[in-house]
A and B are shown apart, each in its own frame.
Chain A
Amino acid sequence: MTRSSKVLSTLVENKPGTLFRVIHLVRLMRLNIEGLTLGVTNGGADCRMTMTLSGDDAAVEHVARQLMKVIDILEAHTYGPEEVTARELALVKINTDKISVAEIQRNTGCRIVDSSKHSVVAEIVGSAKEIDEFVQRLGESNVLDIARTGVAALPKETTSR
């Protein structure tokens, strides 16, 4: 059994209940969802769901294949991390008592999207790894809270399906 993180990308009809149908199979195969992004596309007709799943690789493949049985699903593919362009957005609330806004920006190149008396909210977009590194550079003790979107991903052109 090989275990790793894989990206499961599905295109589904934009209807209530479709995420529920997808999640059922993910749960059945005992996979953990580490990231989930979801957004309407194709003029509102469809919805793309991108899940980062950890667990048995064969189980992820099984889910992708069996998902095609679900009536509302148009496409389901799995990708290894190297096969996709992946981006995640994070909002990070930073305590500015010990670190100045200027320092933050110099160190990280992030965008400040909100500022209050003792804290700012920084926005950073990048790979999951880049976001981890950003938090590390700030120093964990300066970080008050983080909201991450989970990965959105599209296959690279070289990936043939």
Chain B
Amino acid sequence: MTEKMSGARATVEALEREKVDYIFGMPGGANLPLYDALWDSKIKHILVRHEQLAAHMADAYGRVSRKAGVCSATSGPGATNLITGIATAYADSSPMVAITGQVAKAMTGRNAFQETDVIGIATPVTKYTLQPLSAAEVPFAVKEAFYLATTGRPGPVLLDLPKDVQQEEAEMTFPESVTVRAYRPNVPVDPQDIERAAAMIVKAERPILWGGGGVRIADAAQPFGALAELLMAPVITTLQGKGDFPENHPLSLGPIGMHGRAEANKLVSECDLLVAVGVRFSDRSTGNFGEFAPGAKIIHIDADPTEFNKNKAVDLSILGDANVVMGMLFDAVAKRITKSKDLNNNPWLKRVNDVREELKGIPAYKDSYADLSGPRIVKRLRDVLPPEAILTTGVGRHQMWCEIHYQVLRPRTWITSTGLGTMGFGLPAAVGAKFAAPDVPVVDFDGDGSFVMTEQALATAVEEKLPIISVILNDRSLGMVEQWQRLMYNRHYIGIKFPNTPDFVKLAEAYGAHAKTVGSLDEFAKAMREGLRMDGPTVIEVPVSPLDDVFPFLPPGKGIKDTVYGSSKEMAIF
């Protein structure tokens, strides 16, 4: 059955068929037909004050809900403002459809008002770009955009709609599905790979399971955790993979990486088998590739075959959806393990516990920090928040303290920009997460530098009465960079101090948010509890010292075994 309507109307109709609830965006000349078509739609438009925020909101919405988040912008500056947010989503494989208006086809290439080649700009930071050239193509393009964004390894897809295509009327057919010939996201898992992997796993004496963002994306936490428990194998994660496995579980060692947990960074060099699931061997996780897990056989499980052997050669790669692969692997291993391992006599677990004991006293873990310091605030935050609460972050030391000290207990409750490391992600991500999970507390844990990059998201949060909380660690500095300048650039502090940081309470109140500065951990906990009961956003400013450095620290380019656990004094060796 066909129906005559405009390209813009067809876009909205197709979005409704994709069960889109929200569009985060801002209108302008080139997408006005689209906005007009939203007039009587069930889809709710969430107005932002800057398009980058719309992209971060859609990104976080996608990470929490599993659906593609949708953002929209007009042509030219609207479209270019989206780019940082799109690139952030691409780096973390987040499902997103970004819809941009474009000048009418006849104006293309004439340097028309607000014409930019957004497809040219976005191609390297998107999974795909689409530009329908007639209205009748629109329903197919929308279907394809959602199909590509959400299947296989997810990612952002850009849909660029020339204004005349939005305005043109056509008889529309809405496809139930589309295929893209060269794209095969669901390759069946090779059972021989599973057998090979199972054989390697049961032979291993010192196995470690390593989870990344792919475990969350594939909803594979259940079989992933089950295999760890079956093997009694310790679990490490990437920074993105926090929450793949409950971090309060006795087998959890926490994340590895530049600011990973000391025991995780240490033990990964000692394992004889590393089962890497949905990770991409990012240099931030592994340190120097050659020195990573030198004595281990590595099994790599991923949905994206181009990740295999990209950064680190592995012994076995298994292509497939992590949930499917881990389920099959669990069965295959369970069949081979005839009796359960003697736990009391397991030298690997004994070694794990010895390392834990040995590292307990490192300065980073001793509460030698001041009362109001990153590590302590983060730990108190965990006490105040229920297990299902979602935490988003900015980028900087505050994020790294969460990496080390905040235990993520469930998948999809840790939303942070790791691949691109985009400052300003935290607050708009909290807004997007709250729309995706309205019944769950959502907290943005932020730095003063990151927060001001996208603080305008407060306006949206106030309008939408979102009871989210932004915790700002105010060190009046770009703390992470300050740490690098202190430890690696002879204390040449340049371009990092904020002598004129805003009064965050006044700033928040000016937007209509609740706000408070706290002077102790107890005050902080109290303010958090109050914030959780509010009917709109709360900003909690916590003044902290700029001199607290984040440890452990794996200096860039070094092997993971060279992680510095303790203090700035140890850094002198580098």
Which A residues are within 8 Å of any B CB, using their own CB?
Answer: 12-13, 17, 20-21, 24, 28, 45, 62, 65-66, 68-69, 71-74
How many A-B pairs fall under 8 Å by CB?
32
List B residues 424-463 near A (Cβ within 8 Å): none
Min Cβ gap B501→A in Å is 38
CB <8 Å contact, B148 and A71 = yes
B347 at the interface (CB under 8 A from A): no
A45-B164 Cα distance, complex, nearest whole Å: 28
Residue contact A12 to B123, C-beta cutoff 8 Å: no
Q: A65-B306, A71-B127, A71-B183 are in contact. List 6 more A-B contacts (CB 8 A).
A: A12-B182, A13-B182, A20-B120, A65-B309, A72-B182, A73-B182
In whole angstroms, what is the CA distance A73 to B181 when docked?
A: 9
In the complex, which of the residues A17, A21, A68 contacts B306, with contact meaning CB atoms closer than 8 Å?
A: A68
**Is the pair A68, B305 in contact by a Cβ cutoff of 8 Å?**
yes
Least CB distance from A8 to B in Å reads: 15
Q: A43 to nearest B CB, angstroms? A: 13
Contact across chains for B182 and A17 when beta carbons are under 8 A apart: no
A71 touches B182 (CB 8 A): yes
**B136 vs chain A, min Cβ distance (A):** 17
Q: Closest 4 A-B residue pairs measured CB to CB? A: A69-B306, A74-B182, A71-B128, A71-B183
Q: Is B304 an interface residue (CB 8 A)?
A: yes
Closest residue of A by beta carbon distance from B124: A24
A21 touches B123 (CB 8 A): yes
Q: Judge whether B180 and A24 touch: CB under 8 Å.
A: no
Per the bound structure, the CA–CA distance linking A45 and B119 in Å amounts to: 23
The answer to whether A69 touches B304 (Cβ under 8 A) is yes
B491 at the interface (CB under 8 A from A): no
| Minimum CB distance partner of B180 in chain A | A71
Q: Is B526 an interface residue (CB 8 A)?
A: no
Per DSSP, are chain A's interface residues mostly helix, strand or loop, or mixed?
A: mixed
List the A side residues contacting B120 at CB < 8 Å. 20
Which residues in B have their C-beta under 8 angstroms from that of A20?
120, 123
B316 → A minimal CB distance (Å) = 17
* Interface status of B310 (Cβ within 8 A of chain A): yes
CA distance A28 to B124 in the complex (A): 10
Q: How far is the CB of B313 from chain A (nearest CB, A)?
A: 12
Query: Taking each of B305, B306, B310, which has the highest tally of chain A beta carbons within 10 Å of its own beta carbon?
Result: B306
Q: How far is the CA of A135 from the CA of B308 in the complex (A)?
A: 45
Give B304's nearest chain A residue, CB to CB.
A69
Closest residue of A by beta carbon distance from B119 = A17
In the complex formed, the residue of A with least CB distance to B148 is: A71
Which residues of the partner chain A approach B123 to less than 8 Å between Cβ atoms?
A: 20-21, 24
B83 CB, nearest partner CB in chain A, Å: 15
Chain A residues within an 8 Å CB radius of B181: 13, 45, 74
Which residue of A is nearest B127, CB measured?
A71
A32 CA to B305 CA, complexed, in Å: 26
Are A65 and B182 touching (Cβ within 8 A)? no
* Residues on B with beta carbons closer than 8 Å to the beta carbon of A74: 181-182
Q: Tell me, in angstroms, the Cα distance from A99 to B123 when the chains sit together.
A: 52
Closest CB in chain A relative to B479 CB, distance in Å: 32
Residues of the B chain whose Cβ atoms lie less than 8 Å from the Cβ of A21: 123
Quick one: which of B549-564 are within 8 Å of A by CB?
Answer: none
Say how far B96's CB is from chain A's closest CB, in angstroms.
Answer: 15
Give chain B nearest CB distance to A149 CB in angstroms. Answer: 26
Contacts of B124 in A (CB 8 A): 24, 28
**How far in angstroms is the closest Cβ of chain A from B497?**
36
Which residues of B from 104 to 136 have beta carbons under 8 Å from A? Answer: 119-120, 123-124, 127-129
Report how far A24 CA is from B306 CA in the complex, Å: 16
**11 A-B interface contacts by CB (under 8 A):** A12-B182, A13-B181, A17-B129, A21-B123, A66-B306, A69-B304, A71-B127, A71-B128, A71-B148, A72-B182, A73-B182
Complex: A24 Cα to B128 Cα, angstroms: 13
CA A45 – CA B182 in complex, angstroms? Answer: 11
Q: Which B residue sits closest to A11, measured CB to CB? A: B182
Closest chain A CB from B92 CB (angstroms): 15
